[in-house]
């Protein structure tokens, strides 16, 4: 392997850079894992040093793109948000009947749409002062949540390592109508537990996720434990894969499991 797994497995603590390197290489991620920081103190937010701020108003998904694709540290507030869903789940406003109108298309029932809106994970109103996103390895803060955009096999491995590390099983996830990323990261933070969901109507396009990816969220309090589980398991078993014969370098090589047509033998 190109990654020195043995050295990482024997370390007592991993840096955020080492964790990002481990996740990206061993899970074969297509994007940087994004560290999300919630600020509940006005002065802390004002004094936080970011590299970028949104120019025009954007969705939360679009703001996260700057960290996921371009390695920027970005901070933003309610004033920077275009997405009403994010404003609601981040506690910048109460749900309203006007917002319900945008949810009826999911339920075909106005009253049930209202119940769905009010039951979303939401920050206490007026408490959140701002937020920041950064690629995990570059984050100059302790993350509230770490957000991954993955394919299904990558998500499978992350969830299993979470089970091994955090001793939680079976896992349950919260799907909401709309608000996949903003409600997903909020639910993860409030529950202090892993969350996973599909893309919503907004995140599919605004979040640049046209390859049918899924969202995975891990609490910042548990990201170090999950990373240690990954590198130690990889070192103990000589590979991160849990598929087929397992213990291979690529998480998903043995696509046909025990098919006799997909086997390799030692060269003479």
Residue 111's pLDDT band (boundaries 50, 70, 90)? very high
Residue 19's pLDDT band (boundaries 50, 70, 90)? very high
Residue 158 Cα distances to 2, 53, 190, 194, 236, angstroms? 20, 30, 20, 10, 17
The C-alpha atoms of residue 98 and residue 102 are separated, in whole angstroms, by: 8
Give 113's DSSP letter: H
pLDDT at position 261:
67
pLDDT tens for each residue of 169-204? 999 999 999 899 999 999 999 999 999 999 988 888
Is residue 23 over pLDDT 80?
A: yes
pLDDT at position 253:
65
pLDDT at position 257:
61
Give 27's DSSP letter: T
pLDDT at position 206:
76
Backbone region of residue 208 per phi and psi (left: phi > 0; alpha: psi in -120 to 50; beta: other values): left
Average pLDDT of the residues in 214-221: 97
Is residue 252 over pLDDT 80?
A: no
Record the tokens describing residue 132, joined without a space: 């920041």
Could you give the angle at which helices 152-166 and 223-237 cross, rounded to 10 degrees?
100
Record the tokens describing residue 19, joined without a space: 């964790």
pLDDT tens for each residue of 66-98? 999 999 999 999 999 999 999 999 999 999 999
Q: Maximum Cα–Cα distance for the chain, whole Å?
A: 72
Residue 255's pLDDT band (boundaries 50, 70, 90)? low
pLDDT at position 1:
62
Q: Which residues pair with 35 in a beta bridge?
A: 134, 146
Average pLDDT of the residues in 148-159: 96
Percent of the chain with pLDDT over 70: 94
Find where tokens 């893309």 sit. 199
DSSP labels for 129-175? -EEEEEEGGG-SS--SEEEEEE-HHHHHHHHHHHHHHH---S-----
């Amino acid at each position: 392997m190109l990654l020195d797994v043995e050295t990482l497995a024997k370390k007592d603590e991993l840096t955020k850079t080492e964790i990002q390197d481990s996740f990206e290489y061993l899970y074969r991620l297509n994007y940087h894992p994004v560290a999300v920081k919630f600020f509940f103190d006005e002065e802390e937010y004002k004094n936080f040093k970011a590299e970028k701020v949104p120019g025009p108003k954007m969705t939360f998904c679009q703001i996260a793109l700057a960290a996921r694709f371009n390695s920027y540290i970005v901070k933003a507030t309610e004033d920077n948000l275009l997405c009403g869903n994010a404003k609601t789940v981040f506690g910048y406003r109460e749900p309203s009947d006007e917002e319900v109108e945008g949810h009826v298309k999911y339920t075909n029932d106005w009253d049930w749409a209202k119940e769905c809106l009010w039951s979303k994970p939401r920050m206490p109103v007026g408490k959140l002062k701002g937020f920041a996103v950064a690629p995990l390895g570059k984050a100059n803060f302790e993350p509230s949540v770490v957000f991954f955009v993955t394919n299904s096999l990558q998500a499978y491995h992350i969830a299993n390592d979470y089970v091994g590390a955090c001793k939680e099983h079976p896992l349950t996830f919260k799907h909401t109508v709309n608000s996949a990323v903003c409600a997903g990261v909020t639910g993860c933070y409030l529950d202090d537990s892993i969350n996973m969901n599909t893309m919503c109507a907004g995140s599919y396009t605004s979040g640049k996720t046209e390859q049918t990816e899924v969202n995975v969220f891990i609490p910042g309090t548990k990201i170090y434990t999950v990373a240690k589980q990954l590198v130690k398991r990889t070192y103990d078993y000589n590979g991160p894969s849990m598929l087929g014969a397992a213990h291979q370098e690529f998480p998903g090589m043995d696509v046909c499991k025990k098919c006799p047509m997909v086997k390799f033998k030692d060269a003479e």
